[in-house]
Amino acid sequence: MGGAAVDILMYHSISNDVGPTSITPQVFSNQMEMVAESGIQVISMDQFLVYSLNPNAHSDRAIVLTFDDGFQNFADTAFPILQRHKFRATVFLATDYVGQTDIWEQSNSSSKKILPWGVVRDLSRNGVVFGSHSVSHADLTLLKPNTLKVELKASKQEIECKIGKACKHFAFPYGRTNDEVNNMVSRYYTSSVGTRFDRTTVGSSVYNLPRLEMFYFNHLDRWRDYLGGRGAGYFAARQLLRKLRRRLTT
């Protein structure tokens, strides 16, 4: 019964900035340490897709690591920690902002630096997978079909041209999507991730995949409990997730 469940973790900034899109380096380091200790396998987005297409090929829990926006602190802070554990990660870039700052975030008093292409290329050579987060970090549900197409196609082409590798994965800015956006994304990408708070079930759709917003696992005890959900504990993890999701939506 069941089949494997894969948790796609969602990170943004690894820094001491305040706000729900930042996790401190210390907490991030501890979260990764706990993943390593749990023995749960960390897999790439590509491996996840292989599992999803062959639900019987895999029965264990697994974790996928994703980072939205491509902040400079991914290279400076997160990557060395990931390397220590030999964990692979996928980073989603909004191509207009590569080498700039996150100025789409108007409420930001302190803007954060985004990786320049040179560093993106180095990271790519060192095993980091780069996906698209659109061109302009727009809410894609508000765009006309032609503009939407450019956001999806031009960002993919630019990433592929800059790193010399296929760009197959997409993350919706703000998690915003609808049927039209999903359809268009599936023409250019082999998977897409959103911000719906849940775990994935292997064998289900690989578009608009749910993720775990890691800010809600800032409490390390909570993260340890969640990771501990093997066997009978699976249901405990499931319940914890449901409780958190309720807190998010109310």
Residues that bind Zn ion (CB under 5 A): 68-69
Q: Tell me how crowded residue 101 is: count the other CB atoms within 10 A of its CB.
A: 15
Closest separation in Å from C-beta 218 to Zn ion: 19
Q: Is the Cβ of residue 4 or residue 171 nearer to Zn ion in the bound state?
A: 171
Q: In 3-state terms, what secondary structure has residue 22?
A: strand
Closest separation in Å from C-beta 207 to Zn ion: 18
Closest separation in Å from C-beta 204 to Zn ion: 24
Q: Is the Cβ of residue 105 or residue 225 nearer to Zn ion in the bound state?
A: 105
Report which secondary-structure segment, H or E, holds 129: strand 129-132
Q: In 3-state terms, what secondary structure has residue 11?
A: strand
Report which secondary-structure segment, H or E, holds 247: helix 233-249
Specify the residue for token string 């095993």.
127
Q: Is the Cβ of residue 159 or residue 237 nearer to Zn ion in the bound state?
A: 159
Phi-psi label, residue 190: left if phi above 0, alpha if psi -120 to 50, beta otherwise: alpha
Phi, psi of 8 (to 5 degrees): -100, 110
Answer yes or no: are the C-beta atoms of 237 and 229 closer than 8 Å: yes
Closest separation in Å from C-beta 41 to Zn ion: 27
∠ at Cα 212 (206, 217), nearest 5°?
A: 165
d(CA 176, CA 89): 22
Q: Is the Cβ of residue 69 or residue 151 nearer to Zn ion in the bound state?
A: 69
Closest separation in Å from C-beta 211 to Zn ion: 12
Q: Is the Cβ of residue 4 or residue 140 nearer to Zn ion in the bound state?
A: 140
Closest separation in Å from C-beta 36 to Zn ion: 27
Q: Is the Cβ of residue 172 or residue 207 nearer to Zn ion in the bound state?
A: 172
